[in-house]
C-alpha cells in the first residue's frame, strides 16, 4: 500500500506541483446542440477510413490542460505516436523533462527523472492509466491522439446527430462529424446504462501535409470528472520514427519498480 500511495503521489506531484499553475477557462470545442445527421453512413465512413490509412505517425510539442477533482493544471508535453501501438510522452517542466512514458509491444515504462525511479510493466490499459489517468489501451490512445476513433470499421448506423454501433455487452460507441465535411468532431463510449464513460472531441482542424488535422483534442472521463485537453503546436505528421524511440532503457542510477507491484 505504501508503494501504491507513493506512486500516485509522484504522478500528482508531477502534474500539480512541478509544472504550471491553474488554467484559464478553455473555450468549448463543440456547439451545445448538433443537427441531426442526414448523410449516409458510407459518405461519412469512407473518407474516415482513408484518413485512418493515411495517418501513420505524429511528433509534436503540445500544451496540455488537465482538470479533475484535485484541481486544474497546465503543462507542456512532447508527444510521439507511431500507429498502431507505440507512444512516447515526455512531460516537461521549467528545468527539463519530468517524466518519460514509452509504450510499445515490448512493454510500458515510465521514468520519473526527479525521483530517479524507473517503472516497468506490460503495455496494458491498466498501466497506461497509471500515467495518463485516462482508461485507454495503447492502440486506442494512439488513434485518438491523431484525431481518429479507436475503431473505424463496424456495423454503424445513423442515430440523431451521430452514427453509432454496438460495442458488445450493452456498450455502444458514437461518432459525430462536422456538418460541412466528413471530419470527426466527437467520439463517445456509452456504458450499458446509457451514460458516457469516455469521450474524445476533435477541433480547430488545420491543413497539413497529411490533410486536415485537429489541432485541439479533448479526452474526458465524465464519471470521474476528469478532462485532458491537448493543443498541438506545429505537429509533424507521417515522419519516420524509429522503434527505439518507444523503448526506454533503465538509467544506471535509477531504482526500478515493477508496475504490477503497485496495485490498482
What CATH number is associated with residue 39?
A: 2.50.20.10
Write down the pTM of the prediction.
0.88
Evaluate if residue 16 carries a pLDDT over 60.
Answer: no
Mean pLDDT of 88-116: 94
| Whole-number Å distance between alpha carbons of 14 and 33 | 37
The parent domain of residue 156 ranges over 2-25+34-261
Domains identified in the chain, total number: 1
| pLDDT over threshold 50, residue 3 | no
Q: What is the pLDDT of residue 35?
A: 80
> Are 108 and 118 contacting, i.e. CB atoms less than 8 angstroms apart?
no
pLDDT digits (tens, 9 = 90+) for 194-252: 999 999 999 999 999 999 999 999 999 988 889 999 999 999 999 999 999 999 999 99
156 to 48, 146, 213, 220, 237: CA distances (angstroms): 13, 21, 23, 23, 28
Q: Tens of pLDDT along 41-95?
A: 999 999 999 999 999 999 999 999 998 887 888 999 999 999 999 999 999 988 8
- Over 80: is that where the pLDDT of 25 sits? no
Amino acid at each position: 500500500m505504501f508503494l501504491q500511495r507513493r506512486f500516485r503521489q509522484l504522478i500528482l506531484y508531477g502534474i500539480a506541483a512541478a509544472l504550471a499553475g491553474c488554467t484559464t477557462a478553455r473555450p468549448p470545442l463543440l456547439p451545445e446542440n448538433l443537427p441531426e445527421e442526414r448523410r449516409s453512413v458510407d459518405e461519412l465512413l469512407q473518407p474516415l477510413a482513408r484518413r485512418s490509412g493515411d495517418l501513420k505517425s505524429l511528433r509534436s510539442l503540445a500544451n496540455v490542460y488537465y482538470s479533475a477533482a484535485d484541481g486544474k493544471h497546465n503543462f507542456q508535453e512532447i508527444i510521439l505516436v507511431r500507429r498502431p501501438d507505440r507512444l512516447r510522452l515526455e512531460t516537461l517542466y521549467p528545468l527539463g523533462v519530468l517524466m518519460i512514458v514509452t509504450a510499445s509491444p515490448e512493454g510500458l515504462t515510465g521514468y520519473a527523472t526527479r525521483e530517479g525511479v524507473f517503472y516497468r510493466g506490460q503495455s496494458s490499459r491498466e498501466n497506461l492509466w497509471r500515467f495518463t489517468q485516462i482508461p485507454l489501451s495503447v492502440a486506442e490512445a494512439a488513434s485518438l491522439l491523431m484525431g481518429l476513433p479507436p475503431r473505424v470499421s463496424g456495423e454503424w448506423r445513423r442515430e440523431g446527430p451521430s452514427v453509432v454501433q454496438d460495442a458488445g455487452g450493452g456498450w455502444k460507441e458514437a461518432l459525430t462529424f462536422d456538418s460541412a465535411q466528413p471530419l470527426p468532431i466527437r467520439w463517445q463510449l456509452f456504458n450499458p446504462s446509457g451514460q458516457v464513460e469516455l469521450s474524445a472531441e476533435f477541433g480547430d482542424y488545420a491543413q497539413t501535409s497529411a490533410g486536415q488535422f485537429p489541432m485541439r483534442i479533448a479526452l474526458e472521463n465524465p464519471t470521474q470528472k476528469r478532462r485532458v485537453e491537448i493543443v498541438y503546436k506545429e505537429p509533424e505528421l507521417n515522419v519516420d520514427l524509429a522503434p527505439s524511440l518507444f523503448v526506454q532503457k533503465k538509467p544506471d542510477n535509477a531504482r526500478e519498480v515493477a508496475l504490477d507491484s503497485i496495485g490498482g
